[in-house]
Amino acid sequence: SISATSKPDQDKMAFKSIYTEAERIYQHGFTPGELERAKTNLLTSYESRYKQRDKINNDQYARDFKAYYIDGEPLTSMDFDWNFIQKVLPTISVEEISAKAKQWMTKENRVVIVMGPDKPEAKHLTQEQAFALMDSIDNAPVEPYKDLVVSSDLISKQLKGSKIKSTRKLPEFNAVEWTLGNDAKVVFRKADYEKDQVSLIAMSNGGSSKEDNDKVASAMMLNQFMGAFGVGNYNATDLKKALTGKKVSMNVSLSDLNETYNGSSTPKDFETMMQLLYLQFENPRFDKEAYDALLGRYKAYIANMANDPEKIMNDSLDLIMTCHNPRTKLMTPELFDEVSLDQMEAIYKDRFVDAGDFIYFIVGNIDEATAKTMAEKYIGSLTDLRRKESWIDRNVEGPKGKTQREIVIPVEVKKSTVAVNFEAKMEYTPEQNLLLSLFRDILNLRYVDEIREKEGGTYGVRVSTSSSKFPKQKKTLELMFDTDPDKAQSMKAILYREIDKIAANGPTTEDLAKAVKNLQKNREQSKLHNSYWLGALNTYYFYAINPDDPKNFENILQSVTPAKVQEFVKTFLSKADVVDIIFKPKPE
The string of DSSP letters for 201-225 reads EEEEE-GGGGS-GGGHHHHHHHHHH
**Is the CA virtual torsion 478, 537, 363, 279 positive or negative?**
positive
Cβ proximity of 384 and 184 under 8 Å: yes
Tell me how far apart the alpha carbons of residues 463 and 456 are, in angstroms, rounded to a whole number: 17
Three-class SS of residue 464? strand
**DSSP code at position 583:** E
Q: What is the pLDDT of residue 304?
A: 82
Tell me how far apart the alpha carbons of residues 156 and 174 are, in angstroms, rounded to a whole number: 36
Helix, strand, coil share of the chain (percent; to 5): 50, 15, 35
Indicate the range of 74-78, 227-231, 373-377 predicted with least confidence.
74-78
Nearest Cα residue to 565 out of 506, 514, 516, 519: 506
In the predicted structure, residue 154 carries a pLDDT above the cut 90: yes
Distance of CA 424 to the CA centre of its chain: 27
User: What is the mean predicted confidence (pLDDT) over 538-545?
Assistant: 98
Tell me how far apart the alpha carbons of residues 508 and 502 are, in angstroms, rounded to a whole number: 9
Q: What is the pLDDT of residue 362?
A: 99
In the predicted structure, residue 393 carries a pLDDT above the cut 90: yes
Q: What is the pLDDT of residue 139?
A: 82
Cβ proximity of 255 and 207 under 8 Å: yes
User: What is the mean predicted confidence (pLDDT) over 156-164?
Assistant: 94
In the predicted structure, residue 174 carries a pLDDT above the cut 80: yes
Cβ-count burial 230-243 (b if 16+ within 10 Å, e if not): bbbbbbeeebebbb
Please give the single-letter amino acid code of residue 231: V
Q: What is the pLDDT of residue 334?
A: 92
Q: What is the pLDDT of residue 588?
A: 75
User: What is the mean predicted confidence (pLDDT) over 34-47?
Assistant: 90
Cβ proximity of 184 and 161 under 8 Å: no
In the predicted structure, residue 422 carries a pLDDT above the cut 90: yes
Q: What is the pLDDT of residue 305?
A: 86
Nearest Cα residue to 294 out of 376, 235, 237, 229: 229
Confidence of residue 438 (pLDDT cuts 50, 70, 90): very high
Confidence of residue 208 (pLDDT cuts 50, 70, 90): very high
Q: Measured at the alpha carbon of residue 256, what is the angle toward residues 281 and 444, in degrees to the nearest 5?
A: 120
Distance of CA 2 to the CA centre of its chain: 25
**Where does residue 120 rank: exposed (0-12), middle (13-18), buried (19+ CB within 10 A)?**
exposed
In the predicted structure, residue 419 carries a pLDDT above the cut 90: yes
Q: Which residues contact 489 (CB under 8 A, 6 or more apart)?
A: 582
Please give the single-letter amino acid code of residue 42: L
Confidence of residue 5 (pLDDT cuts 50, 70, 90): confident
Domains of the chain: 11-138 (no CATH), 164-381 (3.30.830.10), 402-585 (3.30.830.10)
Indicate the range of 23-27, 180-184, 228-232, 516-520 predicted with least confidence.
23-27
DSSP E strands in 348-415: the ranges are: 359-364, 402-409
Tell me how far apart the alpha carbons of residues 118 and 510 are, in angstroms, rounded to a whole number: 52
Q: What is the pLDDT of residue 575?
A: 98
pLDDT in tens, 475-522: 999 999 999 999 999 999 999 999 999 999 999 999 999 999 999 999
Q: What is the pLDDT of residue 578?
A: 99
Tell me how far apart the alpha carbons of residues 448 and 438 are, in angstroms, rounded to a whole number: 16
pTM equals 0.88
**Is the CA virtual torsion 268, 192, 59, 68 positive or negative?**
positive
Strand order from edge to edge, sheet including 185-190: 164-170, 175-180, 185-190, 359-364, 198-205, 258-265, 248-254
Three-class SS of residue 409? strand
Task: Find the helix or strand (DSSP H, E) in which 236 lies.
Answer: helix 236-242
User: What is the mean predicted confidence (pLDDT) over 453-457?
Assistant: 88
In the predicted structure, residue 173 carries a pLDDT above the cut 80: yes
In the predicted structure, residue 297 carries a pLDDT above the cut 90: no
Confidence of residue 367 (pLDDT cuts 50, 70, 90): very high
Task: Find the helix or strand (DSSP H, E) in which 41 lies.
Answer: helix 32-51
Q: What is the pLDDT of residue 412?
A: 85
Percent of the chain predicted with pLDDT > 70: 100
Q: What is the pLDDT of residue 238?
A: 94
Please give the single-letter amino acid code of residue 583: F
Rank 31-40, 406-415, 433-442, 454-463 by mean pLDDT and report only the highest. 433-442
Cβ proximity of 447 and 464 under 8 Å: no
Count CA atoms closer than 13 A to 100's CA, side-chain side: 7
Please give the single-letter amino acid code of residue 137: I
Q: What is the pLDDT of residue 9?
A: 81
Rank 62-76, 388-402, 449-463 by mean pLDDT and report only the highest. 388-402
Confidence of residue 433 (pLDDT cuts 50, 70, 90): very high
Three-class SS of residue 332? coil
Tell me how far apart the alpha carbons of residues 204 and 188 are, in angstroms, rounded to a whole number: 17
Tell me how far apart the alpha carbons of residues 244 and 247 are, in angstroms, rounded to a whole number: 8
Cβ-count burial 168-182 (b if 16+ within 10 Å, e if not): eeeeebebbbbebeb
Helical H runs in 506-548?
509-526, 530-543
Please give the single-letter amino acid code of residue 168: R
pLDDT in tens, 217-226: 999 999 999 9
What is the chain's mean pLDDT, rounded? Answer: 94
Long-range pairs for 539-543: beta carbons < 8 A, 24 or more residues apart: 540/173, 541/187, 541/359, 542/203, 542/205, 542/359, 543/428, 543/469
Tell me how far apart the alpha carbons of residues 504 and 466 are, in angstroms, rounded to a whole number: 23
Q: What is the pLDDT of residue 29?
A: 92
Please give the single-letter amino acid code of residue 349: K
Three-class SS of residue 155? coil
Confidence of residue 471 (pLDDT cuts 50, 70, 90): very high
pLDDT in tens, 258-294: 999 999 999 999 999 999 999 999 999 999 999 999 9
Tell me how far apart the alpha carbons of residues 8 and 122 are, in angstroms, rounded to a whole number: 7
Q: What is the pLDDT of residue 268?
A: 95
pLDDT in tens, 47-87: 888 888 887 888 888 998 999 999 899 999 989 999 999 99
Please give the single-letter amino acid code of residue 305: M
Indicate the range of 25-29, 145-149, 186-190, 467-471 predicted with least confidence.
145-149
Indicate the range of 149-158, 180-189, 423-432 predicted with least confidence.
149-158
